[in-house]
Structure 1
Amino acid sequence: MNGFETLLDVVQRRHLGRVHRYFLNVVSTNRHFNPYDLITVPDNKADPDNHYVFSVFDVLNVRKNGQDVESFELAEWYRHAKLWHACRQIPFFRDYLVRKEFNRWFSNARFARFARRRHEVSSKHLLLAQNPIFQMAILEIRRFICEYQRLTLLPPFLPDMSLALNDLELLVQQHTMHTVEYTKKFYSHIKTIINMTRESCGKKLHVILKCLEEDSLMFDPSSGSLYEQRVRKENLRKELEQLQHDLR
């Protein structure tokens, strides 16, 4: 018998004056958690971690080998069970676990994609993470993007505002013109930042090339040993290759 059938049986026995008790376990094969989905079992097969005892007097919920015991009246347990089933019919509660798992999967998928792109940027475009020129440019572009996201398609309206149709159309046109002008300025600023970054990287590229040419022309004892100058030259070549790769 399930929980409701057992409750009906003990209520009938109570009116007949017959004392009896049933042991019930929570159904473990249920896909969704339901503490009121019970099934009768012999007393020796009752789950010591969580089982119920139905009697003609009340309902006992025994947990943790009897260390935690909670008592309910028969009518109280029936009321709680009916409220649980009623809440399960509400879409928010019915789909909560599915929505929770989907949101967790979606969050993990977004983080995995971010981690993959971060690894790709750090391995193939090292200057984006280490060069302060690129860092400042990215931060500045991000600031402009955050400001641009605050724009709205329609002008803001007050709750008690009332406008004629012609006035509303004029207000929308003005807001649209303002949005278009701001969009043009936005792309102009982004283009300026990119050009300035390219010029700064170009200047750095010429400095590296000049250093390599000077090191290849003559040996300067004041700059360290031959080994130190060779290591410095190799580092400059690596930085030059990486800079040329990122400027493409």
Structure 2
Amino acid sequence: MTAPGQPDRRIRALLNRPASDVDGYFDVMGDATVPQTTGQRVMGSATLPKIYERLWRPVLFRGFTARTTAQEDRHKLRLLDIRPGDTVLDVACGPGNTTRTLLDAVGAQGLAVGVDSSPTMLARAVDDTVPGTPVGYVRADAVDLPFGDATFDAVSCYGALYLMDDPLGALREMIRLLKPGGRIAVLTTCVRGPAPVRRLAVAASRVAPLRLFDVDEVTAVLREAGLQDVTRSVSAASQTVGGRRP
């Protein structure tokens, strides 16, 4: 693996379109932008990446999931079932903290790729990555991921789907990238309670900074795409969803 400032050439080999080498990550977007929700504008600020891993994420996740980040990471790794040498993708990786939790599982011969649309988050990810580890980063839109079909052994998206302008479109993109036998794990919001209350909350969230998902909304996308072993674990205001491509 090359040092920050020189992205791993293995990542360039995975890309299906031209990319610029920008301060340690590959950029396929250039001057393009993605529609920004209020939550995405906050996440892309210059200040948040500096405090995200030590304060924002631990505090948010404890209240949101009723679990610690360590507990969520262990659950994620069980769902992804990563093997040494696997190539894995972490969508909406932020400052790379979620991507780096995959490193021990992929091993020295594997590769972890983090994707985000925020230059400030990716700059932080590069700064916080230890040289020599099998990880690299790409700036791209989650609904237009710059990889061919069936590229990855596993795909994760943790604590980000609810911030996206087109979350279900992004989820379908992630599924497209799974190899046969590939696994996906997603942590996002979950509305609980009687059906009329859930429907009202989900509808209202469409114009809110944070999107709410009904209990079957995310799993339905996985099943419609033909994934097997679809599971959902609900905790507090969150749900962790997993599945496997046949």
Q: Please confirm whether the aligned pair reaches a TM-score higher than 0.5, indicating the same fold.
A: no
TM-score by length of 2: 0.19
Larger Rg: 1
**Structure ranking higher in helix proportion:** 1
Structure with more relative contact order (C-alpha pairs < 8 Å, separation 6 or more): 2
TM-score by length of 1: 0.19
